[in-house]
Structure 1
Amino acid sequence: MIMTLVIRERRHRQALRLSLPKPQITSSSHNFLNQTQRPSLITSPSSHGIRSLLDLEKVAVLGHGNGGIVYKVHHKKNNSFYALKVLNFDRNGIGFRQPPTLEAEILKRVVDSPYIVRCHAVFYDHANVTPTLQTKGVSGDLSFVMEYMEGGSLHDILQQHRRLPEEVICVLAKSVLEGLNYLHGMNIVHRDIKPSNLLVNEKGEVKIADFGVSHVVEGRFEANDMNAGTCAYMSPERFDLERWGGENVDEFVGDVWSLGVVMLECLLGHFPLIGPQQRPDWATLMCAICFGERLEMPEKASEEFQSFVRRCLEKDWRKRGTVLELLKHPFVKRNSCCSNKVMRDYVLCR
């Protein structure tokens, strides 16, 4: 009974923190408002000759989410395929967890890692934005021309195969760790590592995508920023800063927790932290992540896999494994982790 009251009290207190903050007006937003009404190229990290959205022909819808749509598009001039992510700011003023222009700023930085989905160009169009949205720092629709990943997402692969063998999971783990090492080295916390944000191309290469809730760490820790992301993959300190946080929380190890959840999900074939009959709502996830007992690993899991996941899923962030430590872990030092062939075979046989 006492535990129930504590959980209920924490739930109500934490629910207040989950309210969406109003987007802040930034200098970048003001600059966007002064642009012309025609969709224009605002940044071109690696343009591949992409100078206009008019050169792109929509082929198919790849997915929806986070206020936008992702299309497969064909570039008529260079005869290449790309993924076009369009963030739509509607007239009702439905906000985002942070100014969408921040995602564009982050994508301008992450241009030279083989473990991050590459952004080739970013366009914006504010022709349909109301004055109300403009006062909130929303400058218009943003369109991101991204590298096209033929194999789809890890979520798609799990839908097809349900579970993956360890020789595939170790390739996946190593690639994500390399991507996180690159991001963290640039003071970027991804904050939304999950199967749908891990994409695979026809070569079997795994890359991190979607920086819609990512954060650039610039000294002072901001407690309000901890709630961005997908609840199911959040670390304990992001759910309950009072119990699991403390002073000087290392924001980067939240990404490590998320990776551990994804790896265990790949082996089990289902989300690992709650039972199949439990509803994955906020309260259930918070109880499981913050108060759940020690994880029971499947008997078939190797000792190396179990050790790796346990290092990721330490509830106390101070004891959790770091990206650099885990890159040296025996699980990702296996011979099979040196090649993308196993992952490629899984992608190609779909």
Structure 2
Amino acid sequence: MLTKLLPCLSQRDWQSPVMEVPTDSPFTEEQTRLYFRDIVLGIEYLHYQKIVHRDIKPANVLLGDDGHVKIADFGVSNQFEGNDALLSSTAGTPAFMAPETLSDIHQSFSGKALDVWAMGVTVYCFVFGKCPFIDEYILVLHNKIRTKCVEFPESPEISEELKTLILKMLDKNPDTRITIPEIKLDPWVTQDGCDPLPLEEDHCSVVEVTEEEVQNSVKFVPSLSTVILVKAMLRKRSFSNPYECPRSRAERSMSAPSNLLM
């Protein structure tokens, strides 16, 4: 669910991050699947509202009292027009950044594809308790993300279906990287179609922001338009929606400490 950390927008109960990375106690594959399904639906809902998160990671995924996960920290999120966000600035947490954002060549890149990459790193963390690319030096880390192939530890053992999905999400080419609609149909996610996810039209609808919400909004929040939109999302969506309401801050998230994994 969309979790808001500013009390002026929401007082919903939420708990701590679903996982602290690194950890020696990763999730089982089935627990990972359940949490990941929530994340998929939530990101689909955000993209439907023309918002890209840009900082998906376990530290920003909170476990709710209902057993579902909720996403927090929208400090580097972006609204977009059209079908996708074309971005040119880097943002987010180093170990979760997509390779196209680290290129020496100045170029625009897909916001939706960035979220999918970060989801792939997050799922890897869920089952192995660590990121797929790790280094204490930022430039070396960037090089690994751009050039190194994903490697799977021998333990814990995961299914070939999950490995395949992770590799599709961590495709270094954003043009061929798996998309959210394709992830929703993935056999690992749906248990070979036995546990399908709801269709987009069944859980997504465009949220309109009223003039009253604009007038009553907090005027000093930098990403004001995103905050207003998310406030409207909270007001109009039921608690069953996989995201609830976000925190908005400046373009560079102040919640991402110097630690490359957090």
TM-score range, shorter chain: 0.5 to 0.7
In the TM superposition, residue 296 of structure 1 has moved relative to its aligned partner by 2.0
Where do 1:121-200 residues align within 5 Å? 122=8, 145-150=10-15, 152-156=16-20, 162-200=25-63
Name the structure 2 match of 1:203: 66
Alpha carbons 1:170, 1:337 under 8 Å: kept: no
Return the TM-score normalized by structure 1: 0.50
1:283-302 Cα shifts (integer Å, max 9, x gaps): 1220110121x212234220
Alpha carbons 1:166, 1:267 under 8 Å: kept: yes
Alpha carbons 1:192, 1:258 under 8 Å: kept: yes
How far apart in 1 are the matches of 2:196 and 2:23?
Answer: 22
How far apart in 2 are the matches of 1:206 and 1:309?
Answer: 20
Select the structure with the greater relative contact order (CA < 8 A; seq sep ≥ 6): 2
In the TM superposition, residue 240 of structure 1 has moved relative to its aligned partner by 1.5
Which structure would you say has the larger Rg? 1
* Pairing partner for 1:330 from 173, 176, 187: 187
Alpha carbons 1:261, 1:313 under 8 Å: kept: yes
**Can you give the 5+ residue segments of structure 2 that lack an aligned partner in the other structure?**
198-262
How far apart in 2 are the matches of 1:287 and 1:215?
Answer: 26
AA in 1 matched with 2:171: E
Identity of aligned residues (%): 30
The count of aligned residue pairs is 191
Where do 1:192-341 residues align within 5 Å? 192-218=55-81, 221-223=86-88, 225=89, 227-240=90-103, 242=105, 249-274=109-134, 278-279=135-136, 281-292=137-148, 294-299=149-154, 300-334=157-191
How far apart in 2 are the matches of 1:121 and 1:186?
Answer: 22
Alpha carbons 2:19, 2:126 under 8 Å: kept: no
Return the TM-score normalized by structure 2: 0.66
How far apart in 2 are the matches of 1:283 and 1:173?
Answer: 30
In the TM superposition, residue 203 of structure 1 has moved relative to its aligned partner by 2.0
Once the two structures are overlaid, the 10-residue window that deviates more, 192-201 or 159-168, is 159-168
SS at the partner of 1:213? coil
Name the structure 2 match of 1:51: none
In the TM superposition, residue 145 of structure 1 has moved relative to its aligned partner by 4.0
Name the structure 2 match of 1:34: none
CA RMSD, 1 decimal: 2.5
Alpha carbons 1:117, 1:146 under 8 Å: kept: no
The structure that is strand-richer by fraction is: 1
1:28-57 Cα shifts (integer Å, max 9, x gaps): xxxxxxxxxxxxxxxxxxxxxxxxxxxxxx
Alpha carbons 1:197, 1:209 under 8 Å: kept: yes
Distance 1:318 1:271, change over 3 A: same
Name the structure 1 match of 2:211: none
1:125-153 Cα shifts (integer Å, max 9, x gaps): xxxxxxxxxxxxxxxxxxx5442213x21
SS at the partner of 1:199? strand
Name the structure 2 match of 1:116: 2
Alpha carbons 1:167, 1:336 under 8 Å: kept: no
**Can you give the 5+ residue segments of structure 1 that lack an aligned partner in the other structure?**
1-114, 123-143, 339-350
